[in-house]
Amino acid sequence: MSTALPAPEFKPFNLALIQLGQITADKSANLKHARSMIQKAASGEGIGEVKGKPDIIVLPECFNSPYGHVHFPVYAETIGFKHGQAYDVQSSVSESVKMLSEAAKEAGVWLLGGSIPERDASDDKLYNTATVYSPQGELVAIHRKVHLFDIDIPGKIKFKESETLTGGSTTSFFDTEFARIGLGICYDVRFPELAAISARQGCQVLIYPGAFNTTTGPLHWELLQRARAVDNQVYFSMCSPARDLTAKYHAWGHTLVMDPMGVKLIEAEDGEYILHVHIDPKAFHEARAGIPVTTQRRFDVYPDVSKGL
Ligand SMILES: O=C(O)CCC(=O)C(=O)O
């Protein structure tokens, strides 16, 4: 998605990230638990630097279903969101969208509702899709995971989302009264172009629901987030499910937030947590003033990836 509109002024805000546990085969139970954790986050429960109620709450990747390509067709819901068109949540056939909209409205917060398996009714294709709600409960943006997680590390992990999913074909962000926030999902973090495009479209903060694993998590989870934060001089955060050793897929956990200098502001361990962190534009402006890469790029030597979209 591209836009001519300038980004909102970056103002201080409070971010809460829910490293959700108890993601089972029972979708209704998953939704109920997620809703109660959103209420807890909104009331300030959790760890970290809490300065009042959060302005935005984030859930992890695939929060309503077990994670795996065999599960996506079973749990997929039709959303029917179209960029630039109003969305009527009341008539939505997605129970997850309805729950998330109600939860955002009752808490009076922005809600990045992690991701869910989505079925596009027009062609039956499946996507891994993040949805975003305003404090009034409107569905304002979605992001379909662009890069599918297809890896094979012999003896360690083999995963092929493309067995059942299709990759999204747009970059995505949404505007709040305190920041422009860029979206991606998990494996998208390995593709620096996506974050660079969001940053050059004016996003001051990038948040990706994610679910790394116990092989690539210790190697790359923190490194990639620090890299995306530093190379774009933005706040960068990924929100993971809690680790569940009874599940087939062992999520890494370790939800964290990097500031624009690559300083880690908070990090969970691997259990269920609500993390609260205060996001201060000062660090963003200081990083850009002190190390002015945003004005030193040489688009006469290499192309600007954000152009031509
Ligand atoms: O990139 C990785 O190592 C993990 C990615 C992943 O788990 C995902 O895309 O869901």
Give me ligand 1 centre to Cα 173, in Å: 21
Are 236 and 225 within 8 A, CB to CB? yes
* Pocket-testing residue among 213, 222, 252, 255, ligand 1, by greatest number of atoms within 8 A of Cβ: 213
Work out the average pLDDT over 1-16: 85
Q: Is 80 exceeded by the pLDDT of residue 3?
A: no
Are 218 and 50 within 8 A, CB to CB? no
What's residue 4's pLDDT? 60
In this structure, the strands spanning 56-58 and 110-119 are: parallel
The token pair that represents 148 in the structure block: 């599918």
Q: Is 272 labeled as catalytic in the residue annotation?
A: no
- Sign of the C-alpha dihedral computed for residues 257, 44, 249 and 93 taken in this order: negative
What is the spatial distance between Cα 296 and Cα 291, in angstroms, rounded to a whole number?
A: 9
Query: For the segment 145-164, what is each residue's pLDDT rounded down to a tens digit?
Result: 999 999 999 999 999 999 99
SS3 88: coil
Q: Is 60 exceeded by the pLDDT of residue 99?
A: yes
SS3 165: strand
What is the spatial distance between Cα 129 and Cα 119, in angstroms, rounded to a whole number?
A: 9
What's residue 52's pLDDT? 79
Ligand 1 atom index nearest CA of 190:
1
Distance, CA of 171 to chain centre: 13
- In angstroms, the Cα distances linking 59 to 17, 34, 227, 294 are 6, 8, 22, 30
183 forms beta bridges with 172, 207
Give me ligand 1 centre to Cα 8, in Å: 31
Give me ligand 1 centre to Cα 184, in Å: 12
13-296 homologous superfamily: Carbon-nitrogen hydrolase (3.60.110.10)
One-letter amino acid of 10 = F
ipTM of predicted assembly, 2 dp: 0.98
Query: For the segment 109-126, what is each residue's pLDDT rounded down to a tens digit?
Result: 999 999 999 999 999 999
Q: List residues near ligand 1 (CB under 6 A).
A: 61, 149, 186-187, 190, 211-213, 216, 220
Query: For the segment 220-266, what is each residue's pLDDT rounded down to a tens digit?
Result: 999 999 999 999 999 999 999 999 999 999 999 999 999 999 999 99
Ligand 1 atom index nearest CA of 62:
10
Q: Is 145 labeled as catalytic in the residue annotation?
A: yes
Q: Is 264 labeled as catalytic in the residue annotation?
A: no
User: Residue with the nearest Cα to atom 3 of ligand 1?
Assistant: 216
Residue 169, sorted as left (phi over 0), alpha (psi -120 to 50) or beta, turns out to be: alpha
One DSSP character per residue, 23-83 reads --S-HHHHHHHHHHHHHHHHTT-SEE---SS-SEEE--TTTTS-SSTTTHHHH-B-----T
235 forms beta bridges with 205
